[in-house]
């Protein structure tokens, strides 16, 4: 089991540290709401990844290309929506303004939706971690569970670290905070346009 546990830890760290729409969403939430309110969103993969794993391992390896392109387009549109929200927060930035109250439950669900609509998560589980999970499970369910435990412990911990790091950086001042918020909006815009291009052009 230890081999699969260590592999899970390694891939969990890679998934957390790899730049993507979900990580950018966490950063934008941290800058607009503060790290304490954004921190629960780091738990979103625990909500969203169950269906992603099932689809990736059992279905997505056999679906036609046109369905993959639809996923890219849907994800791109949603990420553009998130970019627009971050842009509005940047334009209307007020260091003395209190952020709208959003429950932790709502924040986790929105973050989970961001993750579920990102094709990167499906590709990751289809091409990288899915085969390892299946191999371990076929040897022994304990191996598969060990891989999942190592992966999600490290992934959630890494995402929480991102939130805390950017939350601390935001304390450098409102101008720095606003600049980081603008960068996150532009980054989300880039991810959204790229996914639309992938979906339309193939």
Structure tokens of 12?
Answer: 């969990």
Interior CA angle at 100 toward 94 and 104, to 5°? 130
Ordered mean pLDDT values, 10 residues apiece, the chain (202 residues): 88 77 82 84 87 77 72 78 81 57 61 75 75 84 93 92 82 69 80 81 72
- pLDDT score at 98: 43
Query: Rounded CA gap, 77 and 151, in Å?
Result: 29
Give phi and psi for 54, each to the nearest 5: -60, -45
The pLDDT of residue 170 is: 63
Q: What does the block give as tokens for 145?
A: 């569970």
Rounded alpha-carbon distances, angstroms, from residue 32 to 3, 36, 131, 188:
40, 11, 38, 15
What is the pLDDT at residue 149? 94
pLDDT at residue 14 in the model? 77
Digit-coded pLDDT (tens) for 125-184 = 876 787 778 888 889 999 999 999 999 999 999 899 988 888 887 666 667 667 767 877
């Amino acid at each position: 089991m230890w081999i699969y546990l260590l592999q899970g830890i390694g891939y969990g760290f890679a998934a957390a540290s790899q730049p993507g729409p979900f990580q950018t969403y966490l950063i934008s939430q941290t800058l607009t709401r503060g790290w304490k309110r954004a921190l629960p969103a780091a738990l979103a993969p625990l909500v969203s990844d169950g269906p992603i794993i099932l689809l990736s391992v059992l279905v997505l390896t056999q679906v036609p290309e046109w369905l993959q392109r639809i996923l890219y387009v849907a994800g791109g549109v949603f990420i553009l929506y998130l970019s627009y929200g971050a842009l509005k927060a940047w334009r209307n930035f007020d260091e003395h303004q209190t952020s709208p109250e959003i429950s932790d439950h709502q924040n986790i669900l929105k973050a989970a939706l961001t993750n579920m609509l990102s094709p990167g998560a499906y590709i990751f589980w289809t091409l990288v971690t899915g085969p390892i999970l299946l191999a371990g499970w076929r040897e022994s369910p304990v191996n598969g569970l060990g891989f999942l435990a190592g992966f999600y412990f490290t992934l959630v911990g890494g995402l929480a670290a991102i939130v805390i790091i950017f939350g601390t950086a935001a304390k450098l001042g409102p101008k720095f905070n606003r600049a980081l918020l603008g960068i996150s909006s532009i980054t989300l815009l880039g991810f959204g346009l790229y996914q639309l291009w992938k979906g339309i052009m193939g």
